[in-house]
Amino acid sequence: MTMPAHIPTWRHARYDMPVSQQLARYDELAAKHASARARIELVTRGIYDPVRHGADDRPPLTVAEHIELLALAECIARTVRHPANVHHALMAGVTWAAIARIVDSDELTVRRDYQRWADDQYDLNRQDPGLGMTADEHAAATARASEGV
């Protein structure tokens, strides 16, 4: 899979490459940005030494690269913060209180977000029976979301 020259939105990052490639590209851009900022700081302080710090030029990120960095960050966050992770945690026995604490939220919000995700999964299954949640799985998820409320 080839990497596009620049990624204009998080959706493009999501569909153009796997998360491992997104992370690698994000690391590359973040390192370039940090290196350019470090050189500027050393020059500003008057302590830049080409022998010690390297004589090569470290240009700042372009506008397109800043946009790509933001898009990748958003895509990576949405990928690793996927609602299915809450579902799997619940199925493993993690409590709503623990999930809310871990994601720095309150139980009601976490439950509501989970219910929305389950509803979307059920809608997906009705459109394509091979995907999403079946009616029984959706009913179980809905019961789980309202359990103890």
Dump pLDDT digits (tens) for 61-116.
999 999 989 989 988 988 888 889 999 999 999 999 999 999 999 999 999 999 99
Contact partners, residue 29, CB within 8 Å, separation at least 6 = 61, 65, 68, 69, 72
Mean pLDDT, all residues of the chain: 87
Q: Is 37's pLDDT higher than 50?
A: yes
3-state secondary structure of 52: helix
Contact 48, 42 (CB under 8 A): yes
Token pair in block for residue 116: 């929305």
Percent of the chain's residues with pLDDT above 90: 56
Q: Where residue 44 falls among pLDDT bands split at 50, 70, 90? A: confident
Q: Is 3's pLDDT higher than 70?
A: no
Q: How many CB atoms lie within 10 A of CB 145?
A: 21
Residue of 52 and 105 predicted with greater confidence: 105
Q: Where residue 2 falls among pLDDT bands split at 50, 70, 90? A: very low
Q: Is 129's pLDDT higher than 60?
A: yes
Residue of 8 and 102 predicted with greater confidence: 102
Q: Which of 121, 88, 115, 85 is nearest to 103 (CA)?
A: 85
Beta strands in the chain (DSSP E): none
Token pair in block for residue 16: 């153009």
Residues in the chain: 149
